[in-house]
Amino acid sequence: MTAILSARGLTVRYPGARRPAVENVSFDLSAGSTLAVVGESGSGKSTIALAISRLLDPAVEIRADLLTFEGRDLLTMDRAGLRRLRARRIAMVFQSPFGSWNPTRTIGAQLTDGLRAAGIWPSGRDRLLTLLRRVGIHEPADRLRDYPHRFSGGMLQRAMIAGALVARPSLLIADEPTSALDTTVQAEILDILDELRDEHQLALMLISHDLGVVARVASSTLVLYGGRLVESGPTTALYRNAGHPYTRALLAAAPRLDGPRKVRLPALAPGPVVDHGCAFAPRCPQAESRCAETTPGLRPVSGLNVACHLAETPRST
């Protein structure tokens, strides 16, 4: 299966920052599969999403050995080309439903903007209505005339998802699509995303800080810490056999339905900026002296890729 989206060594640096927000991240994403990008705030996961569709401020520096979408180089593409991609091939869904819509224009007007940009207006109107119904918005023709403040958060996200898919994109990036919603609504939205991915054979990139969300829909997962990739691989393998102490701590610390949490991550402000060595070393319960000295590279360990010195040796527990 060829990858729709490929990145090698992706590095993003904000102007004036000491360290890159994203450092040397690589991944592949294929049609019909879901890739989850997991990390806490500040880990760089949203930055990756914005970097792919080139929505970052022009002053932000993006470098990579490879960053291609459907075989085309995203780094060298011109602005008009990028805009066309955003209109037709790459779709995005954002985190805060209420902030992401212009409060003074109707939902329909804003969605129509997208269709016009993709060149499918008014031809795509029926498809839009169908999609809106598909995501659970009844009487879509009427609702298109409403303003955002008449909708609930969940409905706004559904509308955003429907709007994103009208132009038949091949990639959908969902940046924390459910974080601002109630848990019940969260599950519904995730299911919709999952089903749509299957129906339309989308490549779905799902960004989240919530492992529960990830487990539900993602086939493979990237774990980010401090802008670096610390672990990646099939989601099920990650859950059973996580190699990196951070991943293990995340898994153990996740709220569970079957009992109290086993572990709490050591409470710290976002970790100190580390210039060399493993980014997680200051917070790692198993850190050794070499962890602070040399940066661990990603190595395959039991079906996963782990960036940890200690993962190479068989663990005692």
User: In sequence order, what are the residues at sequence separation of 6 or more whose Cβ sits closer than 8 angstroms to the Cβ of residue 210?
Assistant: 178, 179
Bridge partners (DSSP) listed for residue 225: 228
| Alpha-carbon torsion angle 127, 131, 132, 138, nearest 10 | 100
Does position 228 bind another protein by CB under 8 A? no
Among 114, 243, 245, 296, binds another protein (CB under 8 A): 114
The interface region with another protein, picked from 38-46, 91-99, 125-133, 177-185 by CB under 8 A, is 91-99
The smaller minimum CB distance to another protein, of residues 102 and 286, is found at 102
Which residue number, 83 or 276, has a Cβ lying nearer to another protein?
83
Least Cβ distance, residue 165 to another protein (angstroms): 12
143 binds another protein (CB under 8 A): no
Tell me how many degrees the CA angle 43-47-53 measures, rounded to the nearest 5. Answer: 155
Chosen residue from 13, 45, 88, 228 binding another protein by CB under 8 A: 88
Q: Does 186 bind another protein (CB under 8 A)?
A: no
Q: Does 100 bind another protein (CB under 8 A)?
A: yes
Nearest to 128 by CA among 174, 159, 169: 159
Q: Does 99 bind another protein (CB under 8 A)?
A: yes
CA pair distance 97, 172, nearest whole angstrom: 17
Residue type for position 47: T
Asked if residue 110 binds another protein (CB under 8 A), the reply is: yes
Place of tokens 């060149």: 119
The residue (of 68 and 96) whose beta carbon lies closer to another protein is 96
The CA–CA distances, whole Å, from 195 to 90, 135, 218 equal 18, 10, 12
Q: Which of 27, 69, 101, 246 binds another protein (CB under 8 A)?
A: 101
Could you say whether residue 87 binds another protein (CB under 8 A)?
Answer: yes
**Residue 92, C-beta contacts closer than 8 angstroms, at least 6 positions apart:** 49, 53, 55, 86, 164, 172, 173, 174, 175
Q: Is the dihedral of CA 235, 240, 245, 247 positive or negative?
A: positive
Helix or strand run (H / E) with residue 188: helix 183-200
- 13 lines the binding site for another protein (CB under 8 A): no
DSSP 3-state assignment of 308? coil
Name the segment binding another protein (CB under 8 A); options: 97-105, 192-200, 215-223, 291-299.
97-105
Binding segment (CB under 8 A) for another protein, from list 25-33, 107-115, 197-205, 243-251: 107-115
105 binds another protein (CB under 8 A): yes
Q: Which position among 2, 16, 76, 104 is part of the footprint of another protein (CB under 8 A)?
A: 104
Query: What residues make contact with another protein under the rule CB under 8 A?
Result: 53, 55, 83-88, 91-92, 94, 96, 99-105, 110, 113-114, 117-118, 147, 149, 160, 163-164
